[in-house]
Structure 1
């Protein structure tokens, strides 16, 4: 059976559209017929809430509390309101994750807890998407070690650009090499803020970062979807949130075909 391709969404700065991007790409992959699993590794659980799974008895915490825990018990169908989303499943998180991730340091094979758990999945997935919180703990290290592609949302703010360099340093330390596949994605793009975006674009260009051609335009619909606790592409299927992220998803699929495994 072919190993699922793992994509992590990360940036050392918060508020850049990381969770929104993970949710949207997950929905688009599912819409295209790919069996997709999204994993919430942020103890705030925003991704879990938006997929209707913010109040479950078992969560990702259970794996870090007991590495032998049956991971299949924490795989739920993702929801849009009361409706299940075809081809899309979720492993949710809750506030206890932060504490248990620290406690898991006591385990001998602590850096492979997530990898070992995913190998025990009964359902086969084409893609596994992981939403990483903007901090480093054992759960994040576990994810970065098994990630095939890192997607880095950047909200066209100079502080988000600084977060890229910080993230790269962390990835290199965790993986113990400089060889990893990534792509930057410009989010919250607003053509009316030309001065700020020109400055940020200049820094990105000078740094030589690999950047996706697709840009995610700013839209009030993202905020509305979050307030309604709904995935943005499904909340506004004929508007910018779906158009932009579907384009990004196709671009990522093309990049994945070229990525070494």
Structure 2
């Protein structure tokens, strides 16, 4: 099914609005969280940029310019942990290496089956783009579904930039909106969470993952995993710049992002010094309370091609990921 074309726009109109006390208090909290004054937030609300909807999923894009910071581990663990809490979860693999797809058991390196590439651009000039539901696969984990990736997605950035048709940065956004509409029409249970795992690069695929958050509810956000060292801090700045640049180009409010510290060695001087460096480099950064400690069980789970949360559910990192899932659940409260 080809993605539908959409046109949005319209002139800004002066509007007046009478708000109750509870609504004003909620606006104040939201303005503080986003670093805005109330009038700025109200303007965005009136223009449809902060529309609340219980029918929308929470979309989480997991991205970092730096590799080796546990993006795949975070994506798979969160998916399984949220499903254990009773939620229906879709994982979209946006990395040509297909690590998330391998971990969830839906990747065959010898296969040329449909994947996320077929959703975002035409595989051949004569083949139309496919819908997420056509590419989506079930996994061995209850209520966890996956849109896989494979080697065919490796040149996605080049393929997207080469397409003549405009709006290539909204391909994933519209595909998710189509999936939401399709699920509603069919009467199936909606997805509560959609997790987008990005590759270690900042390109058109990453831009799609940022823009796609517009299809979600107000708890939708970007998770930036970071191993606290000098190289990762430099990559963090580039990731944040990409988020802000995407917002400027679309004339929208930057998407909400939070930092997740991974592979930490809590009592080392290097970790403490790195934390201080990060505070100085990104003084207004927001962090998850949960931190993922370094453990040999993480590479072991990777070698076994299983989600860490299933490979060793009683390990310290697995327990931390359950706490992270609860922290994310609370963001929807």
- Is the aligned partner of 1:145 residue 2:211? yes
- Give how far 1:253 is off: 1.9
Matches of 1:101 and 1:202, distance apart in 2 = 35
- 2:197 maps to 131
Query: 5+ unaligned residues in a row in structure 2: which ranges?
Result: 1-53, 123-127, 184-189, 214-219
The aligned length equals 251
- 2:244 maps to 172
- 1:81 maps to none
Matches of 1:204 and 1:212, distance apart in 2 = 14
- Give how far 1:109 is off: 2.5
1:225 corresponds, among 278, 301, 304, to 301
SS of structure 2 residue aligned to 1:86: coil
Contact kept in structure 1, 2:265 and 2:294, CA below 8 Å: yes
- 2:287 maps to 211
SS of structure 1 residue aligned to 2:266: coil
Q: How does 1:1-261 map to 2 (within 5 A)?
A: 2-55=55-108, 57-66=113-122, 68-78=129-139, 84-105=140-161, 106=163, 107-121=165-179, 122-123=182-183, 124-147=190-213, 148-176=220-248, 179-192=254-267, 194-206=268-280, 207-208=282-283, 209-257=285-333
Contact kept in structure 1, 2:97 and 2:154, CA below 8 Å: no
Query: 5+ unaligned residues in a row in structure 1: which ranges?
Result: 79-83
Structure number with greater CO (CA < 8 Å, separation at least 6) is 1
Name whichever of 211-220 and 135-144 sits farther off.
135-144
Matches of 2:286 and 2:262, distance apart in 1 = 15
- Give how far 1:149 is off: 0.4
What TM-score do you get using the length of structure 1 for normalisation?
Answer: 0.90
- Give how far 1:31 is off: 0.7
Matches of 1:183 and 1:255, distance apart in 2 = 12
- Give how far 1:178 is off: 5.9
What TM-score do you get using the length of structure 2 for normalisation?
Answer: 0.72
Higher strand share: 1
SS of structure 2 residue aligned to 1:96: helix
- Give how far 1:136 is off: 2.3
- Give how far 1:204 is off: 2.4
Contact kept in structure 2, 1:102 and 1:137, CA below 8 Å: no
**CA RMSD after TM alignment:** 1.7
Name whichever of 32-41 and 156-165 sits farther off.
156-165
Matches of 1:104 and 1:43, distance apart in 2 = 14
